[in-house]
Amino acid sequence: MPTAELGDVRVQYRAEGSGPAVVFVHGLAEDHRTWQAQQDELTGCRTYALDLRGHGGTPVGRASGDLAQLRDDLIAFLSEVSGPAVCAGFSLGGTVVLAAAARRPELVTGAMAIATSSVVGRAAADFFRERAQQVRDGDLEAARATLRADTAEMLTRADAAALGDYRVECIGDGAGYANAALAMAGLREEPLTPLLSKVTCPTVVVGGGKDVFCPRKASEILLDGLPEASYREVPDVGHLMRADDPAGFAEAVRESLGDLGAR
C-alpha cells in the first residue's frame, strides 16, 4: 500500500478509482479497511482511505492527544496527496473532517459527518479517558477486553466477536487508540461546536436510528451549527452502523456523496 511522509509520520492509505477526489476517515479503533466496500463500489471517484496515526499501518509518531493534531494530519494529506476533496468521516473521523473543513475550507469541498459529535459530556469524556489510561498503565489486555465489550454495546445485530477482533487488530500496541481517545475526551473542554460556523462547504450529517453513543441530539447540534447541512438517517442501527446494516450504510454514503457532488 502507498504511504506519504506527512510531518512526523508516514501515513499509509489505500487509493482506488478515478474521478472526483473523496477522502474517507475512519473512527476510533479502526483503519482504512472500514471503507473497503465504498472504495470498491465508487469506481467513478478517486477514493482515498487513510490510516490515522497509531491505527493500521500508520505509526503514532509524536502524538499530542488532541484533535488539532489529527486535523492537521488530514489537512496535510489533502494538501500533499489527494488535493481538495469531499471528505467523509465516521465518529472520530467525522470530528477530524469537520475540524479540517473549519480550518482550511478551500481543501474540503464537501463533508459527510457520520455518527459524529462536536462536543461530549462528562460521562463520555470519562469513558474516553478511562480507555486511554488502560493503555498508559500498560494493561493492554484490559484495553483489548474493554474494546471488545464496547464493540458489543455499539451494535444492534451484527457479530460483535468478529468486529471486536478487527478493532483489536487495528489498535496495535494501543498508543494510537489512547491518543485518539484523549482527542475525543478533549471535546468536553474544547468543543468543536463554536467552529461549525466556519464550515462553508455543503455537509451531510448521517445518524444511526438506535445509536446511543452518538444520539440524535448530537446530530441536531451539528445541524444547528453548520451553515449548509442536511440530515440522513440509517434506521435501526447502533453506532457501528456499517456492520449492523452494510447495505443501508452503503446507500446512505452513496446518496450523501451524490448530494455533495461526488458520484
Answer whether residue 243 shows pLDDT above 90.
yes
Residue 176 lies in a domain: no
What are the pLDDT digits (tens) for 62-118? 999 999 999 999 999 999 999 999 999 999 999 999 999 999 999 999 999 999 999
CATH code of 11's domain: 3.40.50.1820
Q: Angle, nearest 10°, between helix axes 175-185 and 67-77?
A: 110
> Does 89 fall in a domain?
yes
Confidence at residue 18, expressed as pLDDT on a 0 to 100 scale: 96
Task: At 178, list the grid cell.
Answer: 489512547
In a domain, 178, yes or no: no
Sign of the CA dihedral with 38 first, then 57, 12, and 190 last? positive
Report how far residue 126's alpha carbon sits from residue 165's, in angstroms, rounded to the nearest whole number. Answer: 24
The structural domain count of the chain equals 1
DSSP letters, 139-160, are: -HHHHHHHHHHHHHHT-SSS-H
pLDDT digits (tens, 9 = 90+) for 12-58: 999 999 999 999 999 999 999 999 999 999 999 999 999 999 999 99
Q: How confident is the model at residue 154 (pLDDT cuts 50, 70, 90)?
A: very high
3-state secondary structure of 64: coil
39 contacts 29 by C-beta, under 8 angstroms: no
Query: Could you report the per-residue pLDDT of 187-235, keeping only the tens digit for each?
Result: 999 999 999 999 999 999 999 999 999 999 999 999 999 999 999 999 9
Which structural domain, as residue segments, surrounds residue 15? 3-119+190-259
d(CA 127, CA 181): 9
Does 131 map to a domain?
no
The answer to whether residue 209 is domain-embedded is yes
Vertex 92, ends 165 and 249: CA angle to 5°? 70
Asked if pLDDT for residue 262 goes beyond 90, the answer is no
pLDDT one-digit tens code per residue, 118-139: 999 999 999 999 999 999 999 9
Specify the pTM. Answer: 0.97
Residue with cell string 449492523:
244
pLDDT at 261: 87
For residue 182, being part of any structural domain is answered with: no
Tell me the Cα Rg of the chain.
Answer: 16
Q: Is residue 199 part of a domain?
A: yes
In a domain, 68, yes or no: yes
Q: How many CB atoms lie within 10 A of CB 246?
A: 12
